[in-house]
Amino acid sequence: MIRRRAFGRALFGGAAALASASQVEAKGEAEALPRDSADAPAALSPGDAVCVADFRRIAAVQLPRPTFEYIETGSADEVTLRDNVAAFQRIKLLPPILSGVATTDLSTTVLGVPIKLPILLAPVAAQRMYHPHGALAAARAAAACGTVFGVSSSAANSIEEIAAAADGPKWYQLYVPKNRNIARRLVERAEKLSYKAIVVTVDLGEWKHADRRNRFMLPREMLLKHLQDVGFPDVDPGMSHDQLIAYNAAAWDQALSWDFFDWLRSATKLPLIIKGILRTDDARRAVDVGLDGIVVSNHGGRRLDGVPATIDRVAAVLEAVGGKAEVFMDGGVRRGTDVVKALALGARAVLIGRPYAWALAADGEAGVRRVVELLRDELQNALVACGCRSVRDVPKSLLLG
């Protein structure tokens, strides 16, 4: 049994996130499912899914409850988690009629890399817990859809394995080992493997009741492989689960400051993206230190409850950035119309987290493909209805007020 405190620290790193064997065995046990899954059709299959919410319902049935709750839940009272979605719903579209538009070009570029649609896959940890093929399946789906796969430092496969699985564009999301030699090596590996950018997530440390209640964490073998994959040299295969958890809890730098980016710039030529910005002064500082991209994000409402919905911060961040960096957003994107709203506010593209985690759980690579395609089709439909010929030209005037 792992002490609660050690468990909390393990999740802080964002690097430990897989269910225990006993939780996996619990799969299939009848448990009341949280929230709206009670209304799920009993036999909804992935091929019948017509929207993101359908994949959520399938995942709710398929996954052991602790794993489902790891994906699903947010921090503390989940005010921010809910608001990420609700804020999109508060924004209204005001489409002009008779625009003579039959189809919209969804292709764009992100930091110079062409993609087929402005919907990227956000870095998500522990994907092998959702489906046996985990991040390898998600990477293949992203490549097939022509979009970027954001590779989590904690994806549960090495960056080499993910690179070998699919040759689509990838960003490497770096959690930073305290040992900067290992951090440097990670960045060099990503560069050598032709990853297109390094994403530094700065809102570190998830704080979720459900995960503490469930004592949700990586099983020993996965945690061992994860630490070895990262390249910690003194991880010993003979270490017990508790020892590995303690090692993991101590290995990551949770106290980054801005000077980290000077160091990172000296370590790589790749474009640098900061993920987790909500404030305009931070956005300006990101530009001042020469970062190439900003992801307006609150970590999907998983870190600090009570912060604003991300879509409500996009316009202010964009104004602060003044075109000197590309601005992306994530959090609460569940519909093609959400993407339209983000683009109209000036975001270059959006990232999705939970939608593809649910789809991965539901049907592996095919599920992730399908969920991206469903969002793509919703986006296409919405942009035609709004008279837009290209995702690169979505006017703010589409938004009411």
Q: Give the residue numbers annotated as catalytic, written as ranges.
A: 299
Residue showing tokens 């370590």: 267
Q: How far is the CB of 213 from ligand FNR (least distance, A)?
A: 16
Q: How far is the CB of 73 from ligand FNR (least distance, A)?
A: 9
In the complex with ligand FNR, the residue whose CB is nearer, 43 or 63, is 63
In the complex with ligand FNR, the residue whose CB is nearer, 118 or 332, is 332
Q: How far is the CB of 277 from ligand FNR (least distance, A)?
A: 12
380's tokens: 């296409």
The number of residues in the chain equals: 401
125's tokens: 């940890």
Q: How far is the CB of 302 from ligand FNR (least distance, A)?
A: 6
- Bridge pairing between strands 108-110 and 113-115: antiparallel
**Site residues, ligand FNR (CB under 6 A):** 14, 70-71, 84, 122-125, 152, 154, 173, 201, 275, 297, 299-300, 302, 330-333, 352-354, 357
In the complex with ligand FNR, the residue whose CB is nearer, 199 or 224, is 199
User: What CA–CA distance (Å, rounded) separates 370 from 372?
Assistant: 5
Q: How far is the CB of 389 from ligand FNR (least distance, A)?
A: 27
Name the residue number minimizing CB distance to ligand FNR: 353
In the complex with ligand FNR, the residue whose CB is nearer, 220 or 226, is 226
Q: How far is the CB of 204 from ligand FNR (least distance, A)?
A: 9
In the complex with ligand FNR, the residue whose CB is nearer, 209 or 389, is 209
In the complex with ligand FNR, the residue whose CB is nearer, 24 or 102, is 24
Best CA proximity match to 88, nearest among 330, 317, 360: 330
CB neighbour burial string for 190-213, b if at least 16 within 10 angstroms, e if fewer: bbebebbbbbbbbbbbbbbebbee
